[in-house]
Structure 1
Amino acid sequence: MEGLETCCGQANLTISCFADEREALLELKRSFVDDSHRLQSWTGKDCCGWKGVECSRKTGHVVKLDLHNPVIIDYDSFYNDADYAENYSRSCVGGEVSPSLVNLTRLVYLDLSSNNFSYGEIPRFMGSLKNLRYLKLSVARFGGKVPPYLGNLSSLEYLDLSDFWTNRLTSDSLSWISSLPSLKYLNLSGVNLGQSDDWMYGINMLPSLVDLNLSNCLVRRIPPLEYYNFTSLVSLDLQWNSINSTLPPWISNITGLLALRLDGNEFYGYIPDSFKKLTSLRQLGLSSNFLGSSFPSPVLSMINLSYLDLYNNKFRGSIPSNITSLCSLELINFSTNRFSGEIPNLGTDFYGCLTNLQYIQLSYNSFEGPVPESFGTLSSLIELDISNNLCSGNIPTNVGQLRRLKKLRLNKNSLSGMISELHFAQHTVLSELSMSSNSLVFNVSSRWVPPFQLQTIKLDSCVLGPEFPLWLQTQTKVKELGISNASISDSLPDWFEKIYSHVHFLDLSRNRISGKLPKFEKSNITDRRLVFRSNNFVGPLVPLPSDVHFLDVSDNSLAGNISIPEATNLTVQFLLLSNNFFTGEIPTSLCQMKVLWILDISSNLLTGKIPDCFGDIQSLSMLDLSDNNMNGAIPSSLSSLTNLNSLRLHNNNFEGKLPLLQDSMFLTILDLGRNNLNDVIPTWIGENLTSFKFLNLQSNKLHGDIPPSICLLEELQMLNLAGNDISGKIPHCFGNLTGMNIDHYQYEYLEVDLDYGGSIADFIKGVERRYTKTLPFLVSIDLSNNNISGQIPGELMNLSKLLNLNMSRNHLQGRVPENIGDLKALESLDLSWNDISGPVPYSLSSLTYLSHLNLSYNKFSGRVPTGNQLQTLNDPSIYIGNSELCGAPLPNACPGDLPFPKTDEDTDDTEHNHDRSSEEWDLVSRSGCWEFVAFCISRSHGVMHFFIS
């Protein structure tokens, strides 16, 4: 700092430090926990030579104490890199801060940042260091309340209490800040100011303040002020708070502002026109707010902008072409908005001044048209991201001239054409290549050696085959490789296993790759994902490296017993083995995988029983053993799986009682259909488990009544009890199943991808359909093939979102409720093979989505209703077996039907005339009962017919 003169390291120094200050430092050392031995130099008499200690040249007093952690803290690395986190933690100083610190009376500079003081409070005595001008305690893991005694440090110019271990420090009031008139830099990022409504008033008393950072402080509002005293601000950072308001207009008065970061709040409305006065602004961050309108014109006046971030707002319309007048731009991020139109030409060939542009981020909008060829002239470009748009046409080859380009993201557009070696000619530093989900064909030589070494390759749904791409052999640093659905019909080459053994993410799915699964070595990560689904792999399941988090080998031709050696060392959370030819019994070694979340071994040839030890896998959320040849009782130990979300044992030979799952409070899917279970439907299904959405118990040996407790399942949207021996009546309270009365596309259902464990089969329109990603839209009741009696409850007509209703082959009696037309979403209705009587309700004709109807073999009577959707359901078998029904499409006419008189003109069009006559008479005859009509006029082929009744 200015004015701070030290004597450390000076060869002509003749004095050592003062004894009382040396003793104060030694006392401080004794109060610390220093496992890294960073203070081992603190020995001897000359404390001015100790590491981190500096003394004044003039007086010899200790003036600077810098004990910051030499390992630079990085949030992402700390939580995602175990080696980094361990190295950082090992180098921390901890313990307590000794009060002896106050004996360093001339101390001007104190830095304890990036250490670990275990969330102890900031010592109050620090307020006694009155000469202190620089105080940095950032990321030192202090906790509790910020001591207002820091307001005694009247000489303080720099104060940093920030911490990304969020909100451990709190402050109810910032009034003490006003006592620091010399303060130029204030960073309270991460300090909880949620209860400090006066924060603005204290800061407003700091006329010298240049840099203010209150990001992530839980600030809820910006209080109004009559005047603003901190117009000297150069940098203002209020990111990641909850300020729900329009943008503060007073900001435009701080005309010397160079950096303005307001990201991650709840600002709404538009950017005020007054912001065009901020002509000195170099950084503008407004991402992750609710700002709208067309492209904000005030931005175009900020001629010195180098950083412009509008990510994740509601801006719409096109990008004006004169954005190219902002010649200093280095980064533009307009991703995740509602921009449309063509991407403007930003290249230097057109306007000549964007020579510094390094980052173009335009993803998740609705841009259309071609990729501008001018992009190829932006020689400073490091990242180009136009993914998730509607861009079309070819990719210009001059993109290959961008020598500094590191990330190229063009995935999820409508791009087409050939990709050649010219597209990558100068890409010597390219690390990410993402072109997935386009219609691109790679046309490169088999001898091509790319100039780059990629870390991320995403080419899913591009045409790379039929041979396995040989250029991948040259890429030895890849961490992520996605080439699913790439038209590859080949075996894995010999080199693949060696080069990609340490890959973090691998997706080869939906190709025709043959041969055996590759073997992989352990890497230094903990969440490796390997996806081989939907190929032609054969042979056994290979041993898994212990760092695999996700393994999907489903839908292949793997065979043999399932062998999981050294399961106790595995960290697999997703294990997907379905649709193969695995045989034998499930190995008990699976029970040793204590972090297993999803286990899917469905559609194999497994035999034997479910291991009783499955109840020990407490993390298990989804278990799918359906479509095998397993038998025996379902073990009672499954009742201990309290995290279970989905249990599918469909189509096996399980017998005995239903499993007791009353403690599985998160259970959403229970599919035990097509087994030999012999039990009554337990009442705990509704009384204990209220999260049920999909319940399938079809084709077992269940008996007894449907318990009214089922009606407590307010979120239930699929109930299948078909093919059992259930008796009694349908509970009237079925009308309380409100999960069948809401629009399910508005809701999130499962906490995991529905592709993995969240699927179910149901008979809809007479055909068995499997629902995976569309599972939230399955709304169905199937009670068919039972011994249910009584009438159809009128309350069922409340289920307005029901898609499928099947009550066929029971003993139902009485009439169908006349208001069945209230089931507006109904697509399939089957009431066949019952004893239902009375007319077919005319309201059926109002069901515009109905495409499958079966009312056969009942006791319906009267005329078949017509009109609207029923006109398309003209198959007589819909109504067969109802001897008292008449009218089209049945061949028997209703009593009283009078044929039209034939004329010579009618003889060649008898069928047409009959259809018209039936329609006209339907106006005066419904449900087989004639209504009195004075007369009816029909016009047919120009002839007027009069009918008197």
Structure 2
Amino acid sequence: MISNRSLQWVSGLSSLQYLDLSDADLSKATDWLKVTFEHPSLLELHLSACNLEDDPSPISVNSTKSLVVLNLSENNFSSVPMSIFGLHGLVSIDLSGNSLEGPILDYFRNIPFLEVLDLSRNSLNSPTPNSLFSLNHLQFLNLSSNEIDQDISEILLSLSRCCLDCLESLDMAHNDLFGHLVDQLGHFKNLAHLSLAGNNISGPIPLSIGELSSLKFFDVSENQLNGTFPLCFGQLESLETLNLGFNLLEGVVSETHFSNLTRLTTLEASQNRLRFEPNSSWIPPFQCRIIKLSQWHLGPKFPRWLKFQKNLSVLDISEAGNSGILPTWLLNLSTQFEYVNLSWNQLTGGISYLNVREIVDLRSNRFTGPLPRVFPTLQYLILSNNLFSGPLFELICNSLREGPMECLAIERNLLSGEIPDCWNHWRGLGYLNLENNNLTGKIPPSLGHLNLLVLNLRNNGMFGELPSTLQLSTSLIMLDLSDNHFSGSVPAGIGDKLSKLEILSLRSNNFDGHIPQKICQLQSLRILDLGHNNISGAIPKCFSNLSAMANKGNQNTYMFQWSSISTNNFFCLRALLVLKGRQDVYSTILGLVTSICFSTNRLIGEIPKELGSLVELRSLNVSRNLLIGNIPDEIGNMKLMESLDLSMNQLTGEIPSSFSNLNFLNHFNVSYNNLIGQIPTSTQLQSFGNLSYMGNHLYGPPLTKNRSTNRTPTDVANNGSRSEGSNVNWLYVSIVLGFVMGFSGVVAPLFYIRSWRHAYYRKLDHIGRKLYMSLGYYG
């Protein structure tokens, strides 16, 4: 067992040449530096992420020591350990991911054979000494994530005065130094690898980039570079990888930009505002394996030059303005396609077969016809928001599977028929979204045998009771069956078996019975929507056990874990929720939403005061039920509440004064109850209009000024219709007059005029016969 207090045991290994203790906690090993740096035979030392800190008593190391590779990355150093500079034989130093600050020490000149220096992800902020550039054998220099404030031109002029014939890679990522850097790059004739990715670098790409004749790898993605795509890229004959993605480049790209790039294998420049419309007869000089040009303007015709890319494995030309029928040569181009993304274009026509091994994303086009057959190893199939029609049977039942399909997303199409009962060979499926189609029938039992994480069948025409096998999907984190015609009771097994469930939406169906008590066992539940059903009974008091809605800071959700890992960043979870009085789609912030909706059912009894313990709840809607009693004062404990709807019940009493704690409310409705008294003042409640309070016996801002001392609740109920000293209740007078007028104008003629009465009855009989025949036909 490795001691975390001492590394003295290393001294006894006299022939040791390689030592890697990365990720071990050595925060209490105060002798780590002396033991390792003075070891007679050690060649490589890796102590990454060991919680090492500055050594207050540096040692003096003999220059004959053999250490050549030193990795002290991801520790807590605030300055470079001085003892390093006695190790004259070092070839590689990695101090990335520390807290280094101040100057880069002048002692680096004592390490003449240094080839790799990584000082990335630190806080260095003072001038770089000229001695750094006397490293004649330097092959890799990384100053990324620092805050060096010296003029980079001065640094690079010093570099140009030294002989860095072996320099192959220069990484100054996370510094805003790009413009000055490239102006001097002509001095580095052997530079082969340049990465400045993931910074806040701005300004145009300098023309002097074309002087790097040996450059093979160039990556400035995820910055804020603007201007045009320089023509000088056409001079880089050795270039193999070019990545300009996620910047602000704009303008026209021509064939000249690629004229000499015969070795190019990777072209990534997505998320820019560039236009490329080469001559229709243009044949590229390169054979790329990866092409990603998302959000370029490549249309309106589909890019014909792609036909000549015989080695293409990854293609992303999404949001590229392409329209028309997808050419047949594309999917017959290669048997090596791994990933194809043609989403968010205007492509039309049918697709019979998708010859892609792993990922296909064709969402948001206008593809028609039946669903395509797919390659047996396909893992992700995303066909959302198209015009595909017909049944699911051919895809689900007759597709040969050689590997697990992880994601099947065909929502917002025109699919019809029943969901087939042949899912046994789809055991690896984790995400199934068929919402917004025309599917009918019941949920097939075999669907419940899958290890699904997400099942979304919202807004179809499905019916019947939920199959008991659905409770076998114990990995489910999202179950959305809303807007269908499902019936029966809400299965108690959902709460008993689906312990990871975070989203449960059964909204707008025909479910009846009571809310099962076992739903309270869903410790991870964050969104519960049972609105618009026929559910009766009382709201269970045990809802206080829903810990994901009760415990502050509970953000370690299965939803977030699956979205970041299983979906591989191709899309994220989305759900249609009714919050704040409107229906919206939530996706990127879905994991932060907590909501309960029981609206439009037949719930009775009082609102349980135990709901007040759900302090993380953002939205509560129990409107349009038969709830009685007072509003629990404990609801005022739900200080993060943004939407609260208690309208159209039979609630009595006053609005609790504790509602003054609800400072985040932006939707509030208690209309059409039997509430009385003054609306609590100096609270968020004054920001809502009259519609939030109408149909009650309330007063005070925002409705009226405070009532006068001689008015009673009955006076408030009359809303001022009865003036002081008057005994006439004009409401009753108007009712009587309305009855008299209605009787004399409609009922009386039918009673006294025989011909009118017969004609009226004949008409009613005719309507009844038509209605009976219609019901009999469709029944």
TM range (shorter): 0.7 to 0.9
Matching of residues 366-765 of structure 1 within 5 Å: 366-493=200-327, 495-500=329-334, 502-517=336-351, 519=353, 527-562=357-392, 564=394, 587-589=396-398, 595-606=404-415, 609-615=418-424, 617-641=426-450, 643-651=451-459, 652-657=461-466, 659-740=468-549, 742=552, 748-750=560-562, 751-753=565-567, 758-765=573-580
The alpha-carbon deviation at position 694 of structure 1 amounts to 0.7
- Quickly say closer, same or farther: Cα 1:644–1:216, change in 2 above 3 A: farther
C-alpha change, 1:214 and 1:465, in structure 2 (3 Å) is: same
Deviation of 1:863 (Å): 3.7
Amino acid at match of 1:597: E
CA shift in 2, pair 1:552/1:351, >3 Å: closer
> After superposition, what is the alpha-carbon deviation per residue over 1:319-377, rounded to whole angstroms, capped at 9, x for unaligned?
74433123424312244x4x3x35232346x5863333332211111122222333233
Residue 659 of structure 1 aligns with an amino acid whose one-letter code is S
Residues 614 and 347 of structure 1: CA distance in aligned 2, closer, same or farther (over 3 Å): closer
**Residue 812 of structure 1, CA deviation:** 1.8
Equivalent residue, structure 2, for 1:344? 179
Give the counterpart letter for 1:529 in structure 2.
I
RMSD: 4.2
Q: Is the 8 A contact 1:737 1:799 kept in 2?
A: yes
Shift of residue 772, structure 1, vs aligned partner: 3.2
Task: Say whether 1:808 aligns with 2:623.
Answer: yes
Q: Secondary structure at the match of 1:490?
A: strand
Give me the whole-angstrom Cα distance separating, in 2, the residues matched to 1:548 and 1:311.
Answer: 41
**2:738 matched to which residue of 1?**
none
2:484 and 2:508 in contact (8 A); partners too: yes
Query: Do the aligned partners of residues 587 and 668 (structure 1) sit closer, same or farther apart at CA in structure 2, a change above 3 Å counting?
Result: closer
Aligned to 1:260: 92
Q: Of residues 146, 151, 171 in structure 2, which corresponds to 1:333?
A: 171
1:728–1:845 distance in 2 versus 1, CA, 3 Å: same
Aligned-partner residue type, residue 543 of structure 1: R
Q: Distance in 2 between matches of 1:489 and 1:199?
A: 64
Q: Distance in 1 between matches of 2:182 and 2:620?
A: 60
- Distance in 1 (alpha carbons) for counterparts of 2:322 and 2:145: 40
Question: Which of 228, 232, 237 in structure 1 is aligned with 2:64?
Answer: 232
With CA pairs under 8 Å and 6+ residues apart, which has the higher RCO, 1 or 2?
Answer: 2
Paired residue type of 1:540: P
Q: Is the 8 A contact 1:358 1:381 kept in 2?
A: yes
State the secondary structure of the residue aligned to 1:366: coil
Q: Is 1:895 equivalent to 2:704 in the alignment? A: no
Judging changes above 3 Å, is the alpha-carbon distance between structure 1 residues 801 and 616 closer, same or farther for their aligned structure 2 residues? same
Give the C-alpha shift of residue 239 in structure 1: 4.6
Q: Distance in 2 between matches of 1:671 and 1:540?
A: 25
User: Equivalent residue for 2:134?
Assistant: 303
CA separation of 1:714 and 1:255: change in aligned 2, threshold 3 A: same
Match of 1:905 in 2: none
**2:179·2:204 contact (CA, 8 Å) conserved in 1?**
no
* Partner in structure 2 of residue 361 of structure 1: 195
Question: Are the structure 2 counterparts of residues 661 and 174 from structure 1 closer, same or farther at C-alpha, using a change threshold of 3 Å?
Answer: farther
Mapped partners of 2:661, 2:178: distance in 1:
47
1:566-596: per-residue Cα shift (whole Å, max 9, x none)?
xxxxxxxxxxxxxxxxxxxx75336966623
The aligned residue for residue 43 of structure 2 is 212
SS at match of 1:322: helix
Structure-1 separation of matches of 2:58 and 2:580: 70
- CA–CA distance in structure 2, aligned partners of residues 762 and 545 of structure 1: 35
Please say if residues 634 and 659 of structure 1, whose CA atoms lie closer than 8 Å, have aligned partners that are also in contact: no
Rounded to whole Å, the distance in 1 between the matches of 2:150 and 2:350 is 51
CA contact (8 A) 2:46 2:70 kept: yes
Distance 1:541 1:788, change over 3 A: closer
Written as runs of structure 1 = structure 2, the 5 A alignment for 1:235-246 is 236-239=68-71
**Partner Cα distance (1:194, 1:870) in 2:** 53
Q: Deviations over 1:166-209 (max 9, x none)?
A: xxxxx99655642x5xx9xx3467999999x99988866764x4
CA–CA distance in structure 1, aligned partners of residues 527 and 24 of structure 2: 47
Higher helix share: 2
2:619 corresponds to 1:787: no
Q: 1:322 aligns with which of 146, 154, 168?
A: 154
Q: Partner letter of residue 331 of structure 1? A: S
Distance 2:297 2:327 in 1: 18
- Quote how far apart the aligned CAs of 1:804 are: 2.2
Deviations 1:792-837 (A, max 9, x none): 3344334344332210011222232446454444333221110112
Q: Write out per-residue CA displacement over residues 463-486 of structure 1, whole angstroms, 9 at most, x where no aligned residue.
A: 111122233334333222211001
C-alpha distance in structure 1 between counterparts of 2:323 and 2:170, whole Å: 41
1:773 matched to which residue of 2? 588
Q: How does 1:98-113 map to 2 (within 5 A)?
A: none
Q: Distance in 2 between matches of 1:396 and 1:757?
A: 35
Distance 2:348 2:150 in 1: 48
- Give the drift of 1:428: 3.0
Q: In percent, how many aligned pairs have the same letter?
A: 32
In 1, Cα distance between equivalents of 2:247 and 2:91: 34
Task: Check the 8 A contact 2:463/2:487 in 1, yes or no.
Answer: no
CA contact (8 A) 1:668 1:694 kept: yes
SS at 1:548 equivalent: coil
C-alpha contact 1:538 1:557 (8 A) present in aligned 2: yes
With over 3 angstroms needed to count, the CA separation of the structure-2 counterparts of 1:895 and 1:562, relative to structure 1, is closer
Tell me, yes or no, if the aligned pair for 1:535 and 1:555 is still in contact at 8 Å.
yes
- Distance (Å, rounded) in 2 between the aligned partners of 1:306 and 1:416: 36
**1:234: how far off?**
6.2
| 1-structure distance, mates of 2:466, 2:339 | 42
Q: 1:616 to 1:451 in 2, by over 3 A?
A: closer
Please point out which of 858, 862, 879 is paired with 2:693: 879
Mapping for residues 841-860 of structure 1, pairs under 5 Å: 841=656, 847=662, 849-860=664-675
1:488 Cα deviation (Å)?
Answer: 1.3
**TM-score, normalising length from structure 1?**
0.64
Structure 2 spans left out of the alignment, 5+ residues: 2-6, 711-715, 720-779
Q: CA deviation at 1:671?
A: 1.9
Report the count of equivalent residues. Answer: 689
TM-score normalized with structure 2 length:
0.76
Residue identity matched to 2:249: L
